[in-house]
Amino acid sequence: DTGVSQDPRHKITKRGQNVTFRCDPISEHNRLYWYRQTLGQGPEFLTYFQNEAQLEKSRLLSDRFSAERPKGSFSTLEIQRTEQGDSAMYLCASSSDFRANTDTQYFGPGTRLTVL
């Protein structure tokens, strides 16, 4: 299996701009997670998809944030009207209902967002 991939790896934007990140999970993994990690901290959960369905969203996910997984494969995370507090590493992870160790999440390299 190829691992989880994320694009872009780095994004610098000006406050007020919109940004979109993409995550491609491990092939055939039906669960996909987004986390946010600020410097020196552990990742915090943002949202979770099982196939196309977005099953859970954190209170951290304000109305400026939206995530989609239209065909149950790749996912996008969009942040509208970015703020400096959105600067963080955005991590994507995937897992499977159908393979051994279904509880184990595998992480991508992350997208580092800097809002100026």
Partner 1 sequence: AQTVTQSQPEMSVQEAETVTLSCTYDTSESNYYLFWYKQPPSRQMILVIRQEAYKQQNATENRFSVNFQKAAKSFSLKISDSQLGDTAMYFCAFYNAGNMLTFGGGTRLMVKP
Binding site for partner 1 (CB under 8 A): 33, 35, 40-45, 48, 56, 58, 91, 93, 101, 103-110
d(CA 56, CA 27): 22
Q: How far is the CB of 77 from partner 1 (least distance, A)?
A: 15
CB 16 within 8 A of CB 81: yes
Q: How far is the CB of 48 from partner 1 (least distance, A)?
A: 6
Of residues 32 and 81, the one with the C-beta less far from partner 1: 32
Name the one residue in this structure whose structure tokens are 């859970």. 56
Residues in Cβ contact with 18 at an 8 Å cutoff, skipping those fewer than 6 apart: 78, 79, 80, 81, 82
Q: How far is the CB of 90 from partner 1 (least distance, A)?
A: 12
Of residues 14 and 101, the one with the C-beta less far from partner 1: 101
